[in-house]
Amino acid sequence: MSSKHFLPSDTGKLVPNCLKAITYEYEFMSLLEKEKVIYNNEFDCSRVALISGGGSGHEPGFYGLVGSGMLSAVAQGDIFASPNYKNVKAAEKICHELGDSREWAGCIFVITNYTGDNLYFGMAAQDLIARFGSEKIRLLRITDDVAVKKDSNSLVGRRTLAGIALVSKLMGAASQNGYNIDEIFEFGQKVNDSTASVNAGLDHVHISGHSMDSEFGKLGRTQLEIGLGIHNEPGVKKLDYIPRNEELVSTLLDMILNKEDEGRGFFKYATQDKFVLLINNLGGVPIIEEKNILYTTLETLKVKYNIIPIRVYTGNFVASFNAQIFTITLFNVSTAATKTFTTDKIFDFLDEHTNAVCWPNTTFKGKSFIKNDRIINHFEGYDDDVHNTLKDSSQDLKMDPVLLENIVRTAAERVIKKEPDLTEWDTKMGDGDCGYGLKAGAELVLKKLIEDKIAASGSILNVLHVVLNIIKDDMGGTLGAIIFIFMKSVINKIEDLLKEDPSQNVNQVFATALPFGLETLYSYTKARTGHRTVMDVLIPFVNCFNETQDTNRAIQVAYNAAEGTRRLRPKLGRATYVGGLDEQTILPPDPGAYGVYEIISALSL
């Protein structure tokens, strides 16, 4: 967990400033500043008001659930602290006043099942019941967490996790469509009873503005916890290793779907039922990992349980600062459906637009199981049917096959051997991928030498085309693009020269083609000698060979240039952003330049 934060000079303003800020972003949101109440200023009290809230620190929940077709208002407390009952009553009162109060349809408190929220919303509910009658005020607890077993939570019931987002969306849509308080409340109960969630996390969260001493439950570097809450509550199981997604997701789904688990068994379902899957990111899971969790969950549901959801949602719904925690939430539409709220109606409610900021508003065209035919496995690109072979075999460059194979093998092996140094240098001065990229290409070249015997005919052009395709398809990065453009233009020039005069020898052809490759490259990059890039080796090597046609002399020039990059300050690329370079006289050599030198050096054989 990170214990560093961006804080105002008065840390007590952290929550108030956040709530005031969002009113600048979203015109439909207004704020009762002293009461910390965010409300939908477009709400019409002739519709049933839905009010929630809780401690702050879960953004975008709770304010992110406010909007047309979702919650009407939320009362936000301080960090992880419940709002008091006066704040909750203020949230109800402002909704009561939006429109003609003579048409007031009543209010349902949709609350998180934590002690403080139960008490303060309960206090407010009792006050309001005394004022308006029980038929106008209801309270619904969201209890979707399946992590804690029945015998451990018989008194307080299950906790609230990300399921509150689905309940808010469906009850909000029912309110928007004019259903009465009894219908919406009973519907909300059915949705809640048909929703199950479980969390897993890599660490507890550090709370903004708190000291390091507050890091209760901090996990070790290789630990993972299952069944955490959203306020740093400990989980039900701690692992001393971090399982891969396939194992972890399978464990979490078992806690939801295992009908033989007598300690849980909350979630009722049949295979043919219709499901919604929601993956909630509690703030600190990178999006690429979030999407991988989604994919693994979908695959596990399909393979292990024969379940294919009809709706899928991911994102930040109920967060916890920068917590590296995620939630899997399953909602069984079939068991929630009634005569009034059919499965089709529920999907209509999910699909209805809302301006609530945490709802993704993804678009779905149907109400049947997701059949993803948009992943194309076989696509024939422009290059797939192109065979880079000369129609006229006389127009080729030949050399002794044994020597050609030795040169190619040596170049690849030298790159592979040098990879640790290249990676270290690039980690210090760039993004660390140069060595791996070159090594990956070199390993594929070796594989082609062995399996496809690419040098067996002695055709230099055949080898160059194979290497070019490896660079194009498997290397990537800036270096891969530069080498590709250079090599492709060199090959194009060689083939043109051989068409004009097939009798030219290897040195003559390359002495002409290499400078042509450089000139072509110049139109794609501004890098030149002295800029601390691959060009610091490529340019002097080409110029020397063009002038002398002496391979060994050109190789020595390339080596001197590669070593010389230690004394160059970067002018282009990521290395230009590295701080503290002015104080250093000797730097690591440029890894791209040195990698290309290692390849060139094999020509001395």
Domains of the chain: 401-604 (1.25.40.340)
pLDDT at residue 386 above 60? no
* pLDDT at residue number 602: 96
- Dihedral angle computed from the Cα positions of residues 348, 349, 354 and 357, in that order, rounded to the nearest 10 degrees: -120
- Cα 329 from Cα 168, distance rounded (Å): 14
* pLDDT at residue number 182: 97
What is the pTM (predicted TM-score) of this model?
A: 0.78
pLDDT at residue 52 above 50? yes
pLDDT at residue 601 above 70? yes
522 C-beta neighbours (distance < 10 Å), count: 13
pLDDT at residue 58 above 50? yes
Average pLDDT, the chain: 90
* pLDDT at residue number 433: 80
Question: What are residue 326's DSSP bridge partners?
Answer: 200, 281
231 is a catalytic site residue: yes
pLDDT, tens digit (0-9, with 9 covering 90-100), for 164-210: 999 999 999 999 999 999 999 999 999 999 999 999 999 988 888 66
pLDDT tier for residue 384 given thresholds of 50, 70 and 90: low
**CA-based Rg of the chain, rounded to a whole angstrom?**
33
pLDDT tier for residue 478 given thresholds of 50, 70 and 90: confident
Q: Exposure string (b/e) for 560-591, b if CB count within 10 Å is 16 or more?
A: ebbebbeebebeebebeeeeeeeeeeebbbbb
Annotated catalytic residue, options 58, 96, 204, 231: 231
Token pair, residue 139, equals 């309270």
* Contact between 66 and 84 (Cβ < 8 Å): no
One-letter identity of residue 504: Q
* Contact between 184 and 108 (Cβ < 8 Å): yes
* pLDDT at residue number 363: 81
- Cα 498 from Cα 439, distance rounded (Å): 32
One-letter identity of residue 142: I
Give me the count of residues in the chain.
605
Specify the 3-state DSSP secondary structure of 48. coil
- Cα 122 from Cα 140, distance rounded (Å): 10
* pLDDT at residue number 101: 72
Query: What contacts 24+ positions apart, CB below 8 Å, involve 336-343?
Result: 336/187, 336/190, 336/191, 336/193, 336/194, 337/190, 338/186, 338/187, 338/190, 340/179, 340/183, 340/187, 341/174, 341/187, 341/190, 343/274, 343/367
Beginning with the edge strand found earlier in the chain, give each strand of the sheet holding 195-201 in spatial order.
237-239, 224-226, 195-201, 325-332, 275-281, 311-315
Nearest Cα to Cα of residue 279 among 181, 176, 161: 161
- For residue 332, CA distances in Å to 346, 455, 536 come to 11, 61, 63
* pLDDT at residue number 577: 45
pLDDT at residue 404 above 70? yes
Mean pLDDT of 277-294: 97
- Least confident interval from 104-118, 290-304, 383-397, 400-414: 383-397
Structure letter (DSSP) for residue 327: E
pLDDT tier for residue 587 given thresholds of 50, 70 and 90: confident
pLDDT, tens digit (0-9, with 9 covering 90-100), for 100-153: 777 899 999 999 999 999 999 999 999 999 999 999 999 999 999 999 876 655
- Cα 350 from Cα 416, distance rounded (Å): 54
* pLDDT at residue number 215: 53
* Contact between 91 and 53 (Cβ < 8 Å): yes
pLDDT at residue 390 above 70? no
pLDDT tier for residue 579 given thresholds of 50, 70 and 90: very low
- Least confident interval from 7-21, 125-139, 213-227, 536-550: 213-227
87 C-beta neighbours (distance < 10 Å), count: 21
Helix and strand element counts for the chain (H, E): 17, 12
Token pair, residue 505, equals 């020898």
- Least confident interval from 132-141, 335-344, 360-369: 360-369
pLDDT at residue 315 above 80? yes
Three-class secondary structure assignment of 480-538: HHHHHHHHHHHHHHHHHHHHHCCCCCHHHHHHHHHHHHHHHHHCCCCCCCCCCCCHHHH
One-letter identity of residue 272: Q
pLDDT at residue 388 above 80? no
Token pair, residue 347, equals 């999907």
DSSP 194-238: TEEEEEEESSPPPPTT--GGG-TTPPPTT-EEES--SSS---SEE
| 441 phi, psi to nearest 5 deg | -65, -40
* pLDDT at residue number 274: 96
pLDDT at residue 212 above 70? no
* pLDDT at residue number 260: 86
The proportion of the chain whose per-residue pLDDT surpasses 70, expressed as a percent, equals 92
Mean pLDDT of 529-549: 95
pLDDT tier for residue 575 given thresholds of 50, 70 and 90: low
* Contact between 397 and 498 (Cβ < 8 Å): yes
